[in-house]
Amino acid sequence: MKKREYSPYEENAKAFHDELLESEIEAVNLARKKASKREWAKYTEKIIHIIFLLLGLITVGCVLLITVYLVISGIPAIREIGLVDFLFGKEWASTAFEPKYGILPFILTSIYGTAGAIVIGVPVGFLTAVYLSKLASKKVKSVMQSAVSLLAGIPSVVYGLVGMLVLVPGIRKIFDVPDGASLFAAIIVLAIMILPSIIKMTITALDAVPREYEDASLALGATPIETYFKVSVPAAKSGIAASVVLGVGRAIGEAMAVMMVAGNVPNMPDSLFQSVRFLTTAVSSEMAYSSGLQRQALFSIALVLFLFIMLINATLNFFLKREKE
């Protein structure tokens, strides 16, 4: 049987048909691959969403766990001592024959110390950030940012050691006081320790301000300094406020450095040059050898400190949201 011979026209038509069929098959396969990739991308997004949700829930769960633990551990001592005597008592003598558990000196010391550190540290950190973000050359900015990052990485005990060996004797000699370990020394150390947080976050907030804002202000005749402080800073106020909140948290939560330079004596903070004890140092200095009611009272101090920090953060967030509205 003879094989049929195709004319050139029929052969071209068949080749075209075969190529068209192959291209259709390739298109179908490509579409299937794309559909499979889309399904896999959706599946991956769901997995990532679940992972992020779990991480967020873990974070919230840790906060709730700490809160519940502090409440359970701290309430019994407050009930036994009395809320008024505990919060407003002026004497702390946990190891005396007749122990007293008044933490008003610790509360006032923490408030004064944190406020003093903020008063000194915030203006210095803010102005430094404005200079580095808007005025400094690239080389100066790079060097100073490296120094700020190094300052942020120094351990608290090193701050305390330097303060104890340099700052405390300096205060004693300059102000002619019996002991330089005092509230003033703690304020200086805390002010230095909060600088990196304030500077770095403020620089980030200022750098995020659109350049068009400054260009418009300069086009209207404002000077560069007026533009930076009246346009850029208000536009970055949320990040600047966040840096202040972070600085407050760092100052009020510091223990080791403060313990080494403040004297760690439970006195009322009647003077800047008096040895004092903060809420944090009250817990860390006695927890190792505490027991019974004394240990419960230390947990109560931790609860007060926790609520104090929450109150500060809630107050600052309230005013920030109010300004946005």
Residue 256 CB neighbour total at 10 angstroms: 16
Q: Contact at 8 Å (CB) between 273 and 220? A: no
CATH number of the structural domain 83-324: 1.10.3720.10
Cα–Cα distance, 2 to 14 (Å, whole number)? 20
User: In b/e form, how buried is each residue of 91-120, taking b as 16+ CB within 10 angstroms?
Assistant: ebebeeeeeebbbbbbbbbbbbbbebbbeb
Does residue 1 have a pLDDT over 50?
A: no
Q: What is the pLDDT of residues 162-173, one digit of tens each?
A: 999 999 999 999
* Residue ranges covered by each domain of the chain: 1-81, 83-324
Q: What is the pLDDT of residues 199-220, one digit of tens each?
A: 999 999 999 999 898 889 988 8
Residue the block writes with tokens 């903060």: 278
Give the mean model confidence (pLDDT) for residues 125-148.
Answer: 91
User: What is the value of pTM for the model shown?
Assistant: 0.82
Does residue 243 have a pLDDT over 80?
A: yes
Cα–Cα distance, 100 to 228 (Å, whole number)? 54
To the nearest whole number, what is the mean pLDDT of the chain?
Answer: 87
pLDDT of residue 7: 57
